[in-house]
Amino acid sequence: MSRASQTAIPCTLMRGGTSKGPFFLASDLPADVQTRDRVLLAAMGSPDVRQIDGVGGADPLTSKVAIISRSSRAGIDVDYLFAQVSVDRPLVDLTPTCGNMLAGVGPFAIERGLVAPRDPITPVTIHMVNTGTVAVAHVPTPGHEVTYEGETSIAGVPGAAAAIRIDFRDTAGSVCGALLPTGNALDHFDGIDATLIDNGMPMVVLRASDLGKSGHEAPAELNSDEKLKARLEAIRIVAGQRMGLGDVRLKVVPKMTLIAPPQAGGHIMTRTFTPHKCHAAIGVLMAVTVGTACILPWSVAHGIARPPDGPVQRFSIEHPTGEFSVELQVEHTNDGLKVIRSSLIRTARALFRGELLVPASVWIGKERATSTDAVQTVQHG
Ligand code: NQM
Protein backbone atom coordinates (compact mmCIF):
# COMPACT_ATOMS: atom_id res chain seq x y z
CA MET A 1 0.00 0.00 0.00
CA SER A 2 1.35 3.40 -0.83
CA ARG A 3 1.43 6.31 1.58
CA ALA A 4 2.22 9.80 0.27
CA SER A 5 5.24 11.06 2.13
CA GLN A 6 4.35 14.73 1.60
CA THR A 7 1.20 16.79 1.91
CA ALA A 8 0.57 19.33 -0.86
CA ILE A 9 -0.96 22.66 0.16
CA PRO A 10 -2.20 25.19 -2.44
CA CYS A 11 -0.13 28.34 -2.02
CA THR A 12 0.86 31.60 -3.71
CA LEU A 13 4.29 33.02 -2.91
CA MET A 14 3.97 36.79 -2.87
CA ARG A 15 6.06 39.86 -2.33
CA GLY A 16 4.09 42.30 -0.26
CA GLY A 17 5.89 45.64 -0.04
CA THR A 18 9.38 44.89 1.29
CA SER A 19 8.37 41.49 2.70
CA LYS A 20 7.84 38.11 1.08
CA GLY A 21 6.16 34.86 2.01
CA PRO A 22 3.57 32.20 1.21
CA PHE A 23 -0.13 33.15 1.14
CA PHE A 24 -2.61 30.41 2.00
CA LEU A 25 -6.36 30.11 2.18
CA ALA A 26 -7.22 29.29 5.80
CA SER A 27 -9.34 26.40 4.54
CA ASP A 28 -6.23 24.78 3.04
CA LEU A 29 -4.41 24.67 6.40
CA PRO A 30 -5.08 22.56 9.49
CA ALA A 31 -7.85 23.95 11.69
CA ASP A 32 -5.98 22.91 14.81
CA VAL A 33 -3.64 25.76 15.74
CA GLN A 34 -0.72 23.65 16.93
CA THR A 35 -0.78 21.50 13.82
CA ARG A 36 -1.10 24.63 11.67
CA ASP A 37 1.92 26.22 13.28
CA ARG A 38 3.92 23.01 12.88
CA VAL A 39 2.97 23.11 9.20
CA LEU A 40 4.07 26.76 8.90
CA LEU A 41 7.42 25.99 10.53
CA ALA A 42 7.96 23.04 8.20
CA ALA A 43 6.86 25.08 5.16
CA MET A 44 9.41 27.80 5.95
CA GLY A 45 12.19 25.39 6.99
CA SER A 46 12.33 26.65 10.59
CA PRO A 47 14.03 26.44 12.95
CA ASP A 48 17.26 26.80 10.98
CA VAL A 49 19.28 29.96 10.33
CA ARG A 50 19.40 29.09 6.61
CA GLN A 51 15.83 27.71 6.39
CA ILE A 52 17.38 25.30 3.92
CA ASP A 53 14.55 22.75 4.13
CA GLY A 54 11.75 25.21 3.39
CA VAL A 55 10.80 28.32 1.43
CA GLY A 56 11.74 30.89 4.10
CA GLY A 57 14.33 33.46 3.09
CA ALA A 58 16.53 33.17 6.23
CA ASP A 59 15.54 36.68 7.33
CA PRO A 60 12.61 37.86 9.49
CA LEU A 61 11.31 39.95 6.55
CA THR A 62 11.05 36.86 4.36
CA SER A 63 9.86 34.44 7.03
CA LYS A 64 6.27 35.61 7.06
CA VAL A 65 2.99 33.91 6.22
CA ALA A 66 -0.43 35.32 5.31
CA ILE A 67 -3.56 33.23 5.95
CA ILE A 68 -6.66 34.51 4.20
CA SER A 69 -10.36 33.66 4.42
CA ARG A 70 -13.64 35.14 3.29
CA SER A 71 -14.96 37.28 6.13
CA SER A 72 -18.29 36.80 7.83
CA ARG A 73 -18.08 40.34 9.27
CA ALA A 74 -20.40 43.03 7.96
CA GLY A 75 -18.65 45.36 5.52
CA ILE A 76 -15.48 43.26 5.45
CA ASP A 77 -14.33 41.27 2.43
CA VAL A 78 -11.58 39.11 3.88
CA ASP A 79 -9.88 38.18 7.13
CA TYR A 80 -6.07 38.31 7.11
CA LEU A 81 -4.15 36.45 9.78
CA PHE A 82 -0.43 37.19 9.79
CA ALA A 83 2.11 34.74 11.17
CA GLN A 84 5.71 35.71 11.87
CA VAL A 85 7.58 32.43 11.64
CA SER A 86 10.82 32.57 13.58
CA VAL A 87 13.84 31.72 11.48
CA ASP A 88 15.88 30.02 14.16
CA ARG A 89 13.38 29.01 16.83
CA PRO A 90 10.36 26.70 16.72
CA LEU A 91 8.10 29.70 17.22
CA VAL A 92 5.21 31.34 15.38
CA ASP A 93 4.24 34.78 16.67
CA LEU A 94 0.74 36.01 15.91
CA THR A 95 0.93 39.11 18.12
CA PRO A 96 1.38 41.87 15.50
CA THR A 97 0.07 42.20 12.00
CA CYS A 98 2.34 43.05 9.05
CA GLY A 99 1.50 45.99 6.82
CA ASN A 100 3.89 44.89 4.10
CA MET A 101 2.41 41.41 3.66
CA LEU A 102 -0.96 43.21 3.79
CA ALA A 103 -0.16 44.69 0.36
CA GLY A 104 -0.44 41.19 -1.13
CA VAL A 105 -3.78 40.38 0.50
CA GLY A 106 -5.99 42.29 -1.97
CA PRO A 107 -4.47 40.79 -5.14
CA PHE A 108 -4.46 37.31 -3.58
CA ALA A 109 -8.11 37.60 -2.49
CA ILE A 110 -9.16 38.69 -5.99
CA GLU A 111 -7.12 36.06 -7.78
CA ARG A 112 -8.43 33.30 -5.49
CA GLY A 113 -12.03 34.35 -6.14
CA LEU A 114 -12.83 35.78 -2.69
CA VAL A 115 -13.47 39.29 -4.03
CA ALA A 116 -15.05 40.20 -7.39
CA PRO A 117 -12.79 42.53 -9.37
CA ARG A 118 -14.04 45.90 -10.58
CA ASP A 119 -12.66 48.11 -13.32
CA PRO A 120 -10.18 49.83 -12.96
CA ILE A 121 -9.61 49.63 -9.15
CA THR A 122 -11.00 47.11 -6.67
CA PRO A 123 -11.22 48.23 -3.05
CA VAL A 124 -10.69 45.25 -0.75
CA THR A 125 -11.70 45.72 2.88
CA ILE A 126 -9.49 43.63 5.11
CA HIS A 127 -9.95 42.67 8.74
CA MET A 128 -6.50 42.22 10.25
CA VAL A 129 -7.19 39.33 12.60
CA ASN A 130 -4.06 39.79 14.73
CA THR A 131 -5.00 43.30 15.79
CA GLY A 132 -8.74 43.50 15.10
CA THR A 133 -8.17 46.57 12.90
CA VAL A 134 -9.35 47.30 9.36
CA ALA A 135 -7.52 48.32 6.20
CA VAL A 136 -8.81 49.06 2.73
CA ALA A 137 -6.44 48.14 -0.11
CA HIS A 138 -7.13 49.70 -3.52
CA VAL A 139 -5.95 47.10 -6.02
CA PRO A 140 -5.42 48.07 -9.69
CA THR A 141 -7.70 45.78 -11.72
CA PRO A 142 -8.04 47.26 -15.21
CA GLY A 143 -10.38 45.12 -17.31
CA HIS A 144 -11.34 43.24 -14.11
CA GLU A 145 -7.91 41.64 -13.79
CA VAL A 146 -5.23 42.22 -11.20
CA THR A 147 -2.28 43.99 -12.72
CA TYR A 148 1.10 44.05 -11.05
CA GLU A 149 2.77 46.23 -13.66
CA GLY A 150 3.10 49.94 -13.05
CA GLU A 151 5.30 52.92 -12.53
CA THR A 152 5.54 53.02 -8.73
CA SER A 153 8.83 52.40 -6.96
CA ILE A 154 9.11 51.81 -3.25
CA ALA A 155 12.38 52.00 -1.34
CA GLY A 156 13.87 48.58 -0.77
CA VAL A 157 12.38 46.95 -3.90
CA PRO A 158 14.13 47.22 -7.27
CA GLY A 159 12.13 48.35 -10.30
CA ALA A 160 8.56 49.58 -10.45
CA ALA A 161 5.11 48.05 -10.08
CA ALA A 162 1.44 48.97 -9.80
CA ALA A 163 0.60 51.17 -6.82
CA ILE A 164 -1.71 49.75 -4.16
CA ARG A 165 -3.04 52.48 -1.90
CA ILE A 166 -3.80 51.27 1.61
CA ASP A 167 -5.98 53.18 4.05
CA PHE A 168 -6.03 52.35 7.74
CA ARG A 169 -8.72 53.34 10.20
CA ASP A 170 -8.67 53.06 13.95
CA THR A 171 -5.19 51.67 14.37
CA ALA A 172 -4.59 53.36 17.74
CA GLY A 173 -3.95 50.78 20.45
CA SER A 174 -4.04 47.87 17.98
CA VAL A 175 -2.30 45.46 20.35
CA CYS A 176 -1.82 47.48 23.55
CA GLY A 177 -5.36 48.88 23.79
CA ALA A 178 -4.26 52.55 23.79
CA LEU A 179 -2.16 54.78 21.58
CA LEU A 180 0.02 55.60 24.58
CA PRO A 181 -0.16 52.40 26.66
CA THR A 182 1.54 53.97 29.69
CA GLY A 183 -0.57 57.12 29.44
CA ASN A 184 2.61 59.15 28.83
CA ALA A 185 4.10 60.63 25.68
CA LEU A 186 7.50 60.28 27.34
CA ASP A 187 8.83 57.53 29.62
CA HIS A 188 12.30 56.96 31.03
CA PHE A 189 14.42 53.82 31.23
CA ASP A 190 17.63 53.90 33.10
CA GLY A 191 18.31 57.53 32.13
CA ILE A 192 17.01 57.13 28.57
CA ASP A 193 13.88 58.87 27.25
CA ALA A 194 11.44 56.78 25.22
CA THR A 195 8.00 57.08 23.68
CA LEU A 196 5.98 53.87 24.02
CA ILE A 197 3.31 53.97 21.35
CA ASP A 198 0.97 51.75 19.32
CA ASN A 199 -0.72 53.16 16.25
CA GLY A 200 -0.92 49.84 14.45
CA MET A 201 2.38 48.45 15.78
CA PRO A 202 3.63 48.48 19.38
CA MET A 203 6.88 50.44 19.30
CA VAL A 204 9.54 51.96 21.51
CA VAL A 205 10.92 55.15 19.99
CA LEU A 206 14.33 56.29 21.25
CA ARG A 207 16.77 59.04 20.33
CA ALA A 208 19.75 57.49 18.53
CA SER A 209 22.03 60.04 20.21
CA ASP A 210 20.96 58.80 23.68
CA LEU A 211 22.46 55.45 22.73
CA GLY A 212 25.65 56.95 21.34
CA LYS A 213 24.55 56.59 17.71
CA SER A 214 24.02 59.08 14.88
CA GLY A 215 20.99 57.25 13.50
CA HIS A 216 22.64 57.25 10.07
CA GLU A 217 24.62 54.02 10.55
CA ALA A 218 24.23 51.21 8.03
CA PRO A 219 22.05 48.31 9.27
CA ALA A 220 25.04 45.92 9.09
CA GLU A 221 26.99 48.16 11.45
CA LEU A 222 24.13 48.28 13.96
CA ASN A 223 23.51 44.54 13.59
CA SER A 224 27.09 43.80 14.54
CA ASP A 225 26.98 46.06 17.62
CA GLU A 226 26.27 43.46 20.30
CA LYS A 227 26.45 46.04 23.10
CA LEU A 228 23.78 48.19 21.45
CA LYS A 229 21.56 45.18 20.77
CA ALA A 230 21.83 44.00 24.39
CA ARG A 231 20.92 47.49 25.62
CA LEU A 232 17.95 47.69 23.25
CA GLU A 233 16.72 44.27 24.33
CA ALA A 234 16.98 45.20 28.02
CA ILE A 235 14.88 48.32 27.37
CA ARG A 236 12.45 46.33 25.22
CA ILE A 237 11.77 43.76 27.92
CA VAL A 238 10.92 46.42 30.52
CA ALA A 239 9.02 48.55 27.99
CA GLY A 240 7.00 45.51 26.87
CA GLN A 241 5.85 44.94 30.45
CA ARG A 242 4.91 48.60 30.83
CA MET A 243 2.98 48.47 27.56
CA GLY A 244 0.89 45.58 28.91
CA LEU A 245 2.46 43.04 26.56
CA GLY A 246 3.75 40.81 29.37
CA ASP A 247 7.00 38.91 28.92
CA VAL A 248 8.10 39.89 25.41
CA ARG A 249 11.31 37.85 25.25
CA LEU A 250 9.72 35.45 22.76
CA LYS A 251 7.52 38.08 21.09
CA VAL A 252 8.39 40.21 18.08
CA VAL A 253 6.78 43.27 19.66
CA PRO A 254 7.44 45.92 20.72
CA LYS A 255 9.67 46.91 17.80
CA MET A 256 12.45 49.43 18.49
CA THR A 257 13.22 52.57 16.50
CA LEU A 258 16.15 54.95 16.85
CA ILE A 259 15.36 58.43 15.57
CA ALA A 260 17.60 61.28 14.47
CA PRO A 261 17.17 64.59 12.62
CA PRO A 262 16.33 64.08 8.92
CA GLN A 263 19.13 64.50 6.43
CA ALA A 264 17.54 63.96 3.01
CA GLY A 265 14.54 66.26 2.90
CA GLY A 266 12.27 64.05 5.04
CA HIS A 267 10.78 64.74 8.45
CA ILE A 268 12.68 62.21 10.59
CA MET A 269 15.52 59.72 10.18
CA THR A 270 15.02 56.17 11.51
CA ARG A 271 16.79 52.91 12.19
CA THR A 272 14.22 50.28 13.15
CA PHE A 273 14.76 46.89 14.79
CA THR A 274 12.19 44.12 14.12
CA PRO A 275 13.04 43.73 17.03
CA HIS A 276 16.46 42.03 16.98
CA LYS A 277 17.67 42.93 13.53
CA CYS A 278 17.86 46.34 11.90
CA HIS A 279 15.27 46.67 9.12
CA ALA A 280 16.60 47.50 5.64
CA ALA A 281 13.78 50.06 5.45
CA ILE A 282 10.86 50.39 7.89
CA GLY A 283 7.65 48.38 8.25
CA VAL A 284 4.33 49.82 7.15
CA LEU A 285 2.56 50.07 10.50
CA MET A 286 5.88 50.91 12.06
CA ALA A 287 6.00 53.93 9.76
CA VAL A 288 2.44 54.89 10.72
CA THR A 289 3.32 54.54 14.40
CA VAL A 290 6.66 56.38 14.23
CA GLY A 291 5.03 59.15 12.17
CA THR A 292 2.37 59.46 14.87
CA ALA A 293 5.03 59.65 17.60
CA CYS A 294 6.67 62.45 15.65
CA ILE A 295 3.57 64.63 15.56
CA LEU A 296 2.67 64.06 19.22
CA PRO A 297 3.59 67.04 21.33
CA TRP A 298 6.27 66.21 23.92
CA SER A 299 7.20 62.80 22.59
CA VAL A 300 10.85 61.79 22.35
CA ALA A 301 10.79 63.20 18.80
CA HIS A 302 10.15 66.72 20.04
CA GLY A 303 12.88 68.97 18.66
CA ILE A 304 14.16 66.24 16.29
CA ALA A 305 11.28 65.61 13.91
CA ARG A 306 10.18 68.35 11.58
CA PRO A 307 6.52 67.53 11.06
CA PRO A 308 4.50 69.31 8.38
CA ASP A 309 1.46 71.38 9.38
CA GLY A 310 -2.25 70.92 8.73
CA PRO A 311 -5.00 68.36 9.33
CA VAL A 312 -3.60 66.05 6.63
CA GLN A 313 0.12 65.58 7.04
CA ARG A 314 2.27 63.84 4.45
CA PHE A 315 5.02 62.57 6.70
CA SER A 316 8.26 61.38 5.14
CA ILE A 317 10.27 58.90 7.19
CA GLU A 318 13.88 58.42 6.15
CA HIS A 319 15.35 54.93 6.58
CA PRO A 320 18.46 53.03 5.42
CA THR A 321 17.29 52.50 1.82
CA GLY A 322 15.31 55.69 1.17
CA GLU A 323 12.11 57.12 2.56
CA PHE A 324 8.57 56.01 3.41
CA SER A 325 5.72 58.51 3.05
CA VAL A 326 2.65 58.21 5.22
CA GLU A 327 -0.37 60.48 5.02
CA LEU A 328 -1.80 61.08 8.48
CA GLN A 329 -5.18 62.72 8.95
CA VAL A 330 -5.18 64.15 12.44
CA GLU A 331 -7.76 65.71 14.68
CA HIS A 332 -7.18 67.53 17.95
CA THR A 333 -9.64 66.33 20.58
CA ASN A 334 -10.07 67.00 24.30
CA ASP A 335 -8.08 63.81 24.91
CA GLY A 336 -5.22 65.03 22.75
CA LEU A 337 -4.25 64.25 19.22
CA LYS A 338 -6.11 61.57 17.26
CA VAL A 339 -5.04 60.04 13.94
CA ILE A 340 -8.32 59.26 12.23
CA ARG A 341 -6.89 57.84 9.03
CA SER A 342 -3.50 56.92 7.64
CA SER A 343 -2.77 56.15 4.01
CA LEU A 344 0.26 54.97 2.13
CA ILE A 345 1.36 53.35 -1.09
CA ARG A 346 2.82 49.86 -1.45
CA THR A 347 3.35 47.48 -4.33
CA ALA A 348 3.06 43.70 -4.42
CA ARG A 349 3.60 40.84 -6.84
CA ALA A 350 2.55 37.22 -7.07
CA LEU A 351 5.81 35.34 -7.62
CA PHE A 352 4.76 31.72 -7.78
CA ARG A 353 1.55 29.67 -7.67
CA GLY A 354 1.44 26.02 -6.86
CA GLU A 355 1.53 23.60 -3.99
CA LEU A 356 3.81 23.86 -1.02
CA LEU A 357 4.89 20.45 0.21
CA VAL A 358 5.31 19.57 3.87
CA PRO A 359 6.27 16.17 5.22
CA ALA A 360 3.24 14.00 5.92
CA SER A 361 4.81 13.31 9.31
CA VAL A 362 4.03 16.97 10.14
CA TRP A 363 0.51 16.92 8.71
CA ILE A 364 -1.22 14.11 6.93
CA GLY A 365 -3.62 16.54 5.25
CA LYS A 366 -7.31 16.21 4.80
CA GLU A 367 -9.91 15.65 2.14
CA ARG A 368 -11.69 18.80 1.14
CA ALA A 369 -15.00 17.48 -0.14
CA THR A 370 -16.56 20.91 -0.65
CA SER A 371 -13.55 22.81 -2.00
CA THR A 372 -13.10 23.45 -5.69
CA ASP A 373 -9.39 24.21 -5.24
CA ALA A 374 -6.89 21.87 -6.79
CA VAL A 375 -5.96 19.49 -4.03
CA GLN A 376 -3.93 16.39 -3.67
CA THR A 377 -5.72 13.82 -1.54
CA VAL A 378 -3.37 12.05 0.80
CA GLN A 379 -3.68 8.25 0.66
CA HIS A 380 -4.27 6.74 4.05
CA GLY A 381 -2.79 3.42 5.13
O1 NQM B 1 5.20 47.43 10.43
C2 NQM B 1 8.69 44.07 9.66
C3 NQM B 1 7.82 44.62 7.56
C4 NQM B 1 7.63 44.51 9.00
C5 NQM B 1 6.37 44.81 9.64
C6 NQM B 1 8.74 43.28 10.83
C7 NQM B 1 5.45 45.69 8.90
C8 NQM B 1 4.67 46.72 9.58
O9 NQM B 1 8.56 45.43 7.11
O10 NQM B 1 3.50 46.84 9.25
O11 NQM B 1 5.29 45.62 7.72
O12 NQM B 1 8.27 43.69 11.84
O13 NQM B 1 9.27 42.17 10.75
O14 NQM B 1 7.25 43.81 6.84
Residue nearest to atom 9 of ligand 1 (CA): 283
Under 8 Å CB-to-CB from 45, ≥6 apart: which residues? 51, 52, 53, 54, 55, 56
What pTM was computed for the model?
0.91
The whole-angstrom separation of Cα 102 and Cα 80 is 8
> Residue 349, SS3?
strand
User: What is residue 272's predicted lDDT score, i.e. its pLDDT?
Assistant: 98
How far apart are alpha carbons 26 and 7 in whole angstroms? 16
In one letter, which amino acid is 112? R
pLDDT digits (tens, 9 = 90+) for 161-197: 999 999 998 899 999 999 999 999 999 988 999 999 9
Mutation pick for ligand 1 pocket among 15, 18, 19 (CB with most ligand atoms within 8 Å): 19
What ligand 1 atom has the least distance to the C-alpha of 286?
A: 1
Q: Report how far residue 167's alpha carbon sits from residue 125's, in angstroms, rounded to the nearest whole number.
A: 9
Q: Name the packing angle between helices 99-111 and 284-295 (round to 10°).
A: 130
**Per-residue pLDDT reduced to its tens digit, 226-275:** 999 999 999 999 999 999 999 999 999 999 999 999 999 999 999 999 99
47 preceded by cis ω (within 30°)? Answer: yes
pLDDT value of position 3: 61
How far apart CA 360 and CA 380 sit, in angstroms, is 11
Give SS3 for 194: strand
Could you give the CA distance from residue 108 to residue 113 in angstroms, rounded to a whole number?
9
As for ligand 1, residues whose beta carbon falls within 6 Å of it are 18-19, 60-61, 98-100, 201, 255, 274, 283-286
Residue 257 half-sphere exposure, CB side, CA atoms within 13 Å? Answer: 34
Residues of the chain with pLDDT under 70: 1-3, 367-381
Q: What is the pLDDT of residue 334?
A: 79
Residues 6 or more apart whose CB falls under 8 angstroms from that of 311 comprise 329, 330, 331
Q: Whose CA is nearest to atom 5 of ligand 1?
A: 283
Which residue ranges form the domains of the chain, and what is each CATH number? Answer: 6-163+348-378 (3.10.310.10), 187-328 (3.10.310.10)
Measured between alpha carbons, how far is 99 from 372 in angstroms, rounded to an integer? 30
pLDDT of residue 381: 27
CA–centroid distance, 100 to ligand 1, in Å, is 6
